[in-house]
Structure 1
Amino acid sequence: MVARLFNLNSVWLLPATREEVWAIIADADMSWPQWWPGCSHAAPIVRADAVLTSPQDILKATTAFLNFKTSLGYTLTISVHPTVVVRPREIEFEASGHLEGTGRVTLTKEENGAATRMDIEWRVRPTQRWMRHLTPIAAPAFTAAHAIMMRHGERGLVKALARTSTSSRE
């Protein structure tokens, strides 16, 4: 039985420049757990030897293992490995673990560059047996849990951007 493909899209509107957003989301140390509620590191980051030493090459050589606690009470553990990095506009990912597939984050300037629109696309299939079997009836609940988790991430990133903005003015 092939698991259902979930097409999960989110749009975050962020009160910061594209470069400020990029500095946080494209951090080679994958510091998402510092600002995303419900996100934690599941294992140490793995980094292959980067061919070059640019931040983009280092990011593409990085695999992060992350836990995401959902509002439904289960935790998803996924690895995130950037495959395409176009600074400061786009990151494409491969995901594996409890969800398997691809993701893409695109940053677009808004309001004369003072704000940023972040489009997030995930094309994933659940790999856990229980999720695959429940998907025909629980897909709406899984999708709603994803939306809640993403709203928490957006709020956390807005707060992180505000802290960064405040500390850079001091």
Structure 2
Amino acid sequence: MTPRLFDLRSTWHLPAPAGKVWDVLTDLDLRPGEPVWWPGCTVAAPLVRTGPSDAPGADGLTGITAFLRFHTPLGYSLTVSIHPTLSVPPRELAFDAGGDLEGRGGIVLTPEGPEGPTTMDIRWTVRPTRRWMNLLAPVAAPVFVAAHAHTMRKGEQGLAKALDEG
């Protein structure tokens, strides 16, 4: 059985200029076990430097892999690796995902004015790698999508709070 492909999209509205949003999103001060600004998300493992960035001016983002653990409202956790493949500060970030969800993702920041706010469009195109998720996907896909939407709303709220406090 081929694992189901999930094409998940979200749009966040954030109360800050794109440059400030970018700075929070790309902060590499990640320590295992510590929470990040996203409620229900912790750092799962040390940041791995996979080599020098292959994109000039990309702040070295394409030379790292981050590992995050998301705790879902349904009681299970997903550990996902994020390896940036394209970085265009402060506008666009594309990445490969691995771990419990494999595929690709991307973020596009669009300023709504010179000093904010900013719209952040997020896209995940992923397949679960956990056997139980793949077995349940034919009937549980709507539940997985709803859990994702809940997690994303919490992320938007957490990032807005971090931007307000920063």
Name the TM tier (shorter chain): over 0.9
Which has the higher mean CA deviation after the structures are superposed, 44-53 or 145-154?
Answer: 44-53
CA distance, structure 1, for counterparts of residue 30 and residue 57 of structure 2: 12
Gaps of 5+ in 2: none
CA distance, structure 2, for counterparts of residue 135 and residue 113 of structure 1: 43
Cα deviation for residue 114 of structure 1 reads 1.8
- Determine whether 1:153 maps to 2:146: no
Match of 1:137 in 2: 139
Match of 2:46 in 1: 44
Cα deviation for residue 34 of structure 1 reads 2.3
Match of 1:2 in 2: 2
- Determine whether 1:88 maps to 2:101: no
> CA distance change for structure 1 residues 101 and 51 in 2, over 3 Å: closer, same or farther?
closer
Match of 1:25 in 2: 25
Given residue 42 of structure 1, which amino acid in structure 2 is its aligned partner?
A: A
What are the Cα deviations for residues 30-67 of structure 1, in whole angstroms up to 9, with x where unaligned?
Answer: 58932111101111110123157966251111101110
Which has the higher mean CA deviation after the structures are superposed, 48-57 or 150-159?
Answer: 48-57
Aligned mate of 2:164, from 153, 158, 162 = 162
Cα deviation for residue 79 of structure 1 reads 0.4
Structure 1 counterpart SS, 2:144:
helix
* Pairs within 5 Å for 1:59-138: 59-138=61-140
Query: TM-score of the superposition, structure 1-length normalised?
Result: 0.90
CA distance, structure 2, for counterparts of residue 53 and residue 27 of structure 1: 18
> CA distance change for structure 1 residues 30 and 92 in 2, over 3 Å: closer, same or farther?
farther
CA distance, structure 2, for counterparts of residue 97 and residue 52 of structure 1: 23
What are the Cα deviations for residues 86-131 of structure 1, in whole angstroms up to 9, with x where unaligned?
Answer: 0110000100111000000000011444210000000000010000
Match of 1:168 in 2: none
Count of residues in correspondence between the two structures = 164
CA distance, structure 1, for counterparts of residue 60 and residue 73 of structure 2: 33
Gaps of 5+ in 1: 165-170
Query: TM-score of the superposition, structure 2-length normalised?
Result: 0.92
Quote the RMSD (CA, aligned, Å). Answer: 1.9
